Chains A and B, each alone.
Chain A
Amino acid sequence: MGSLSMDRAEPDFKNELAKQPGGENFAACFACGTCTASCPVAAVNEIFNPRRIIRLALYGFKEELFKSDFIWLCSTCYACQERCPQGVSITELMTAIKNMAFKAGYAPSGIKAQNDLIKGEGRIYPIDDFDNKKREKAGLPAVPTSCPVVEELFPQ
């Protein structure tokens, strides 16, 4: 992973993150590594390491986190959060970091596309007439092909 120069750290970042839902008590992390040991993603890919992400956040390596691919590899399975001996809401913390990175303009294209699709269409798999034909054939009721309420909930 290489070493990082402390010159690049932004110490205020941890306070900013602590204000987000899920960030409340993340400074209580004592780096035991239960999170990483419990993580199904870390088990198959070492670039995802929740303990390291928490350390980076505590030191204030905001840019390293925001520009990274790895923060997006949390599958939100909650295995870590359920086991954290310090009661850190790790899954919620990961979500808070991803939300901040998204706001700052960093996100994989798939995440951006998903966000646009849902706020635009109201569904991740919009239903078309062809879907409803298949549903009818299977004896299932039709589902609306549009969700106009999203325009009011999320005005552009």
Chain B
Amino acid sequence: MKYAFFLGCTIPARARNYELSARKVAEKLDIELVNVEKFVCCGFPVKSSDILSAEIMGAYNLCLAQEKNLDILTLCSSCASALTEVAHKLAEDGPARKEMNKELSKVGLEYHGGVKVRHLARILYEDIDSEELKKHFKKDLSGLKIASHYGCHYIKPSEIYDGFDDVEDPKSIDALVSLTGAATVDYRNKKRCCGGPLLPVNEDVASSVSKEKLDDISEAGANAICLVCPFCAVMYDGNQKSIESQFGTSYNLPVLYLTQVLGLAMGFDRKELGLNMNVVKTKELLKDYFE
């Protein structure tokens, strides 16, 4: 398995823990990640102001993968949806692709269709046999009580995602987490958004949306959150302290990327998984799993 590795903007700058752990897990599973230096932003952040420009950025990135004859693997859910949407729109050799190719001709490119975009979590869920995955595990994570957060763009809009997971009752992340022996905790309003896309518009509203979920997860008795998007991590991990002080609440709820959970089971150490970069400290939670 070999993919064009789409890092996006947030991960290389603000979520190196995610990138480190994802590279480790991928390597262990013989998933080759090809770095493509010329990739630009996926386009998602300009969608609300200028959808055409967002799609041009998406299509440009698809062309770079096409040049290498590779499908795209993403770690960020927003990148996954923005790029999948464009790939979906340009899949047919019709007027939409013709129009887009006029734009792309400015940089001497032409998109021919056929590049598939998938999030790493989806690839693990769809392509890797669970018994095969378990063969790589060295540690049993029973004792952890993990609340999975799916977020939005990892599975929605459903029409672009071939129904790989059920948007009203998603299972893919829980299924992967439970292979490690950790308990998966169900909670109220599990499908709710993190609020992250509202940060540039209204920080208070964004925090209020996040706070609801932190309340629900704490109430359900989970001792960690597992997620697959760096935007969601900004809200739950990076901003957890400020949400606590804004609302007078206390969570102290470590936030782990799915790749950190799987990497932990695979026996990688703290530094290899970038756990030192998680904002809410994980030392106490994970003390039994490291010598």
Contacts and interface: CB of A to CB of B under 8 A. Distances in A.
Interface in A64-82: 69, 72-73, 75-79, 81-82
B201 A82 contact: no
B35 interface: yes
Interface string B260-284: 0000000000000010000000000
Interface in B138-173: 152-153, 156-158, 167-168
Contact of A150 (B14, B40, B199): B40
B209 interface: yes
A45 B49 CA distance: 22
Given A75-B196, A123-B9, A149-B38, A111 B49 contact: yes
Interface stretch (B50-58, B111-119, B178-186): B50-58
A154 B47 CA distance: 15
Which of the listed residues A40, A102, A113, A127 has the most CB atoms from chain B within 10 Å of its own CB? A40
Interface size class on chain A is 35 or more
Interface size class on chain B is 35 or more
B205 interface: yes
A19 interface: no
Contact of B212 (A43, A78, A131, A134): A43
29 contacts: A40-B189, A40-B193, A40-B209, A44-B212, A75-B206, A76-B47, A77-B192, A79-B156, A81-B156, A95-B47, A98-B49, A107-B49, A110-B199, A110-B200, A111-B48, A111-B200, A111-B201, A115-B46, A118-B41, A118-B45, A118-B57, A119-B53, A124-B45, A127-B12, A140-B16, A143-B7, A153-B56, A153-B103, A153-B106
Interface of A: 21, 40-41, 43-45, 48, 69, 72-73, 75-79, 81-82, 91, 95-96, 98-99, 102, 107-108, 110-115, 118-119, 122-125, 127, 131, 134-135, 138-141, 143-144, 147, 149-150, 152-155
Given A44-B211, A108-B202, 11 more contacts: A21-B51, A40-B192, A75-B195, A77-B152, A82-B168, A95-B51, A98-B49, A99-B49, A107-B49, A115-B53, A147-B38
